[in-house]
Chains A and B, each alone.
Chain A
Amino acid sequence: MDFGTFLWTTFGAFLTLATFSFLYKDNPFYKIAEHLVVGVSAGYFVIILWHNALVPLLFQRLSDGDWYFLWLNSSKPWYWIPAILGAMMWTRFSRNYAWISRWPIALYIGIAAGLAVPLEMANRVNKQLYASMAGVINWGNFWGQDFLDVTSGYSQVIIFAGAIAGLFYFFFSKAHTGAFGGVAKFGIWILMIGFGASFGYTVMGRISLFINRIQGLGFWGEAAFDASNPNHSGWFLAVFWLMIMGIAAYVAVELVRFARQKA
């Protein structure tokens, strides 16, 4: 790692700690990081959209035309039509002309809705219902396996009954009384187990995000002291200790402020 990269890594570490400082309280360092990421993220997206989408899909297809004919003499001049339709979307901000934006929106919504109907029906509903029933009607699953084996017929019955009961609880609009209510009660029990499993996974997911930040800061610290790096010099350590002293100074100021408040 060269010194330039180490300076950038240090800046990244500073921004990481600035963002973490929000846990103590909202402060200018956090606000700077928050506003910076919004701007940089938007700028990044503009560039990606330009180079990856607009240029290859539109400009390159019109590039064999001449600008003084507005590229209408290119081999594919019809690509002007989706460009104009797309530009019509920008009238959304105008009070008088916002109705023009409905045409391209209608085109997109119609296509998306039409695609969704068969594909979502097939993949979210039909295949899931089929999978629920296939395990139950295969009698071979009920013999020769442990009761708690995931592939056993008994587990498949629980899956089938649980899925139907879950739908009884939240999808069908009949009141939860009598036998229907009993099935709905079983359904909410199954749903609660599912939500518990999701919570367990969510805890793992969130903690992982923090662990990665610790690893990132650890990597920065290791780079500062990595004598095996051929580019390593005293400047690495100087930058590292400058940053540590800055953090210590901020913590000291906050502790003094906290002590004064208490007193």
Chain B
Amino acid sequence: MRRQIPLALVFIFGVFMIFQYFVPHESSEWIYEFLLDWIYIIGIFALALGIWSLIRVSVAKIKARKANWGYPIITIAGLFLMILFGFTGYRDGSLGFHFMTAEGLSNPMFRNFFDYILIPIQSTMFALLAFFIASAAYRAFRARNVLASLLLVAALVVMLRFNPYMGPIGPYVADAASWLLNVPNLAAKRAIIIGIGLGMVATALKIILGIERGYMGKG
């Protein structure tokens, strides 16, 4: 029963969702909207699992006094400060805790933490990739064979297409890049998209029919 009921639920709701796509009747639409309305709420609780996981792991590291145990304190402090600011705000000129109304979203400290802590660090972490791609291009990008050379030439054409210092060949490089993106690149990506689409449909059908059961976990 611990596995049969979930499998039955997946089958019933999966088949219904496929069915309702083709049936624009009022009853079908009503059930569809009802299910969507419920799924939004169920999904919120699922996402909270990740936050609880983060707190659990950080507290465990602090308690165990593992190497660099001071850093999880910063994580927990950042988390709780953000939550504190998000629930405090001004209403009618006085500062207070507001859980059911959204004054916290306009709290200047909440916004400042986002604008001056989250944005700089997150965007800089991804900016590091610029250097890694330069290093990878230097160390690993080799024209070892015809296929690698083809990849290299295509990459060079796309990278040079907006370069204004190409002289008289500039417009030809730009046109070649445009043709490359809209013809062979399009063909390659279309093949990948069709392959992914067929794979997704196959996986979804396997899940609905109970062949694929990985989402249920062990037991």
Asked if the two chains touch in their complex, CB atoms less than 8 Å apart, one says yes
Chain A CB count within 10 A is highest, among B41, B188, B207, for B188
Q: Is A188 an interface residue when CB atoms closer than 8 A count as contact? A: yes
Q: How far is the CA of A37 from the CA of B200 in the complex (A)?
A: 34
Name the segment of A164-172, A233-241, A243-251 touching the other chain: A164-172
B10 at the interface (CB under 8 A from A): yes
B12 at the interface (CB under 8 A from A): yes
Task: Find out whether the CB atom of A194 lies under 8 angstroms from the CB atom of B184.
Answer: yes
Interface membership of A19, Cβ < 8 A? yes
- Whole-angstrom CA separation of A57 from B11 in the bound complex: 27
B39: contacting residue among A55, A90, A107, CB under 8 A: A107
Judge if A252 is at the interface, Cβ distance under 8 Å.
Answer: no
In the complex the two chains form, is A44's CB within 8 Å of B118's CB? Answer: yes
The verdict on B121 contacting chain A, using a C-beta distance below 8 Å, is: yes
Residue A51, interface by CB 8 Å: yes
B150 at the interface (CB under 8 A from A): yes
- For A100, the closest partner residue in chain B by CB is B2
- Which residues of A are found within 8 Å of B186, using beta-carbon distances? 159
Q: How far is the CA of A13 from the CA of B83 in the complex (A)?
A: 24
> Restricting to A107-128, which residues have a CB under 8 Å from any CB of B?
107-111, 113-121, 123-125, 128
Q: Name A25-47 residues within 8 Å CB distance of B.
A: 31-47
A225 beta carbon closer than 8 Å to chain B = no
**Nearest neighbor of B141 in chain A, beta-carbon distance:** A199
Q: Are B198 and A171 in contact (CB under 8 A)?
A: yes
Q: Which residue of A lies closest to B58 (CB)?
A: A39
CB distance from A217 to the nearest CB of B (A): 10
Pick the contact of B201: A116, A159, A189, A202 (CB < 8 A).
Answer: A116
Determine whether the beta carbon of B184 is less than 8 Å from that of A113.
no
Number of A-B contacts (CB under 8 A): 409
Chain A min CB distance to B123 (Å): 6
Of A19, A120, A171, A195, the contact of B204 (CB 8 Å cutoff): A120
Q: In the complex the two chains form, what is the Cα distance from A44 to B219 in whole Å?
A: 35
In the bound complex, how far is the Cα of B79 from the Cα of A207, in angstroms?
A: 31
A8 interface hit (Cβ, 8 Å): yes
Q: Is the CB of A1 closer than 8 A to any CB of chain B?
A: no
Given A192-B151, A194-B187, verify A206-B130 contact (CB < 8 Å).
yes
The answer to whether B79 touches A42, judged by C-beta atoms less than 8 angstroms apart, is yes
CB contact between B41 and one of A57, A148, A206 (< 8 Å): that residue: A57
Question: Once the chains bind, are B127 and A47 in contact (CB under 8 Å)?
Answer: no
Which residue in chain B gives the minimum CB-CB distance to A13? B120
Q: B57-87: contact bitstring with A at CB < 8 Å (1 yes, 0 no)?
A: 0000000000010011011111111110011
A213 in contact (CB, < 8 A): yes
Whole-angstrom distance between the Cβ of B8 and the nearest chain A Cβ: 8
16 A-B pairs with C-beta separation under 8 A: A20-B128, A37-B117, A50-B86, A54-B44, A98-B217, A108-B42, A110-B207, A114-B14, A115-B17, A117-B208, A118-B21, A121-B197, A150-B183, A191-B192, A193-B180, A200-B158
13 extra A-B contacts, CB within 8 A, seeds A55-B100, A191-B191: A35-B74, A36-B75, A40-B79, A40-B117, A43-B80, A45-B47, A46-B48, A109-B10, A111-B39, A124-B197, A171-B195, A203-B155, A206-B130
Residue positions of B touching A, CB distance < 8 A: 2-3, 5-7, 9-18, 21-22, 35, 37-52, 54, 68, 71-72, 74-83, 86-87, 99-100, 102, 104-105, 110, 112-133, 137, 147-148, 150-159, 175, 178-198, 200-201, 203-205, 207-208, 215-217, 219
